[in-house]
Amino acid sequence: MRVVAAMSGGVDSAVAAARMLDAGHEVVGVHLALAQSAATLRESARGCCTLEDAGDARRVADRLGIPFYVWDMAERFREDVVEDFAREYAAGRTPNPCLRCNEKIKFAALLDKALALGFDAVATGHYAQIEEQQDAGAAGGIRRELHRAVDEAKDQSYVLGVLDADQLARSFFPLGDTTKPQIREEARRRGFSVAKKPDSHDICFIADGDTRGYLAKRLGERPGPIVDTDGEVLGEHGGAHGYTVGQRRGLGLRVPPADGSPRYVVSTDTTTNTVVVGPEELLGVDLIDADHLRWCGPAQAVGVELELGAQIRAHGREYPARVSVGDEGGDGIPARVRVRLAERVRGVAPGQSVVLYDGTRVVGSATIASTGRA
C-alpha cells in the first residue's frame, strides 16, 4: 500500500513513519507547512510547524531512506482553523482547534491530496487504534472502527472523533498499542535525533500559550461589565470573547462576594459584551444539545436513543449518558444529538465538542450548541 506519513518533526510521527515502513508499505514522508511565517527556531515546547520542525522531520526521513516533501497548506490552515478559532470566540463559543485541524486539514486536505496523487492512505502519530470488524454491508466486507489507545494518558481518540467512515478506511495510527515511554525508547533505538524532543502543547498557533492575549490582538479590546446573576456590576473586562464558562482566574472583580466564596464565569454574551459570574454550583449541567454531528462509523437513525459514554474535553473524564438522535430540518437526516449526562458536569461551554463512546469505540462527535439542567 502507498502511504503518506504525516511527519510533524516530533517523536511520535517519526516512529509512526518507521512502523509503516516496517509493515511493508511504500512510505513517503510529508511535512505540512501550516504557519505563514514560521520562526527559524521554536521559542518553547508549545509551538510547532517551525523550520526547525521541518528539518527534524527531514532528518528522520533521510535516516529511514524514504522520500520527503513539504506541502504548503498555510492558507487552508489559516482559514479553516485559525480564522475559525477567532470567529468562534467572537461569537461567544469555545472551540477546539485540534479537532478542526483533524477534520479540515489532516484528514481532508492532506488525505484528499494524497489520494489525488495516487496514494492509498495517510498515517499519523496520533495515539488511537483502528480495529477491523467483519461487516457484509461495508466496502470489502470490513468495517474499520476507531478505538482508544492503550496509553490512557496519551489517548487522542477524542480529537479524532470528527473522522467519518470513509476517512477511517484510509487512515493508520501505528502508535495506538504502545505507551509514550516505549515510543521514546524505540526512537532512541532507531537513532532518531528527536527521541528526547519535548512534546508540543496547547494551541500550536499560539506559541506562548496566552489565548486571551492572542484574542485581544485579533479581536481588539472591548471593555464591558462583569455582572452577577442579579445584574449587579462587579468589575470590568476587556472583551467577553476572552472568557469561557468555568473560568475562575483573572476576573479582577472589584466587589468581593459577601460569603467569601469564589466566583466563576457562568455565561458570556458577546452581543451585549457581558460576562456573568456566579457560585460554583451554577456551573453544573447535565443536558447538552449539540449539532455539527459526525458519525465515526455507521450513522445512527433519527429517533434512536443510545446508552453511551460522553467526553467533553480532550483529556477529561467520560460520563455515562443517554443520547437521543434528532434532525434539524425534519428531513429524517441525523443532524443533532441531545446528551443527558448521568451527573452534572462543570464548565461545559458552547463550541466545545462532545465525543461519544461505546466502550473504547468512538461512535461520533458533535459541537455543543447549548447546555442546561434536566
pLDDT given at position 48: 58
Which helix (H) or strand (E) segment holds residue 366: the answer is: strand 361-372
For the entire predicted model, the pTM comes to 0.91
Question: Has residue 230 got a pLDDT over 80?
Answer: yes
Q: Give the integer Cα–Cα distance in Å for 87 and 136.
A: 43
Nearest CA among 354, 373, 16 for reference residue 173: 16
Question: Has residue 43 got a pLDDT over 60?
Answer: no
Catalytic residue among 48, 49, 98, 101: 101
| Overall average pLDDT of the 41-68 stretch | 79
- Mean pLDDT over all residues of the chain? 91
Question: Has residue 36 got a pLDDT over 80?
Answer: no
pLDDT given at position 40: 43
- Name the range with the highest mean pLDDT among 44-58, 145-159, 205-219, 245-259: 145-159
Q: How far is CA 312 from CA 26, 36, 83, 148, 250, in A?
A: 37, 31, 23, 15, 23
Angle between helices 83-90 and 211-219 (to 10 degrees): 90
Catalytic residue among 48, 49, 98, 204: 204
pLDDT given at position 46: 44
Asked if 277 contacts 251 with a C-beta cutoff of 8 angstroms, the reply is yes
> Between 60 and 255, where is the model more confident?
60
- Name the range with the highest mean pLDDT among 37-46, 121-130, 236-245, 255-264: 121-130
Is residue 48 among the annotated active site residues?
no
User: What are the two backbone dihedrals, phi and then psi, of residue 152, each rounded to the nearest 5 degrees?
Assistant: -60, -35
User: What are the two backbone dihedrals, phi and then psi, of residue 361, each rounded to the nearest 5 degrees?
Assistant: -85, 135
Is residue 204 among the annotated active site residues?
yes
Question: Has residue 37 got a pLDDT over 80?
Answer: no
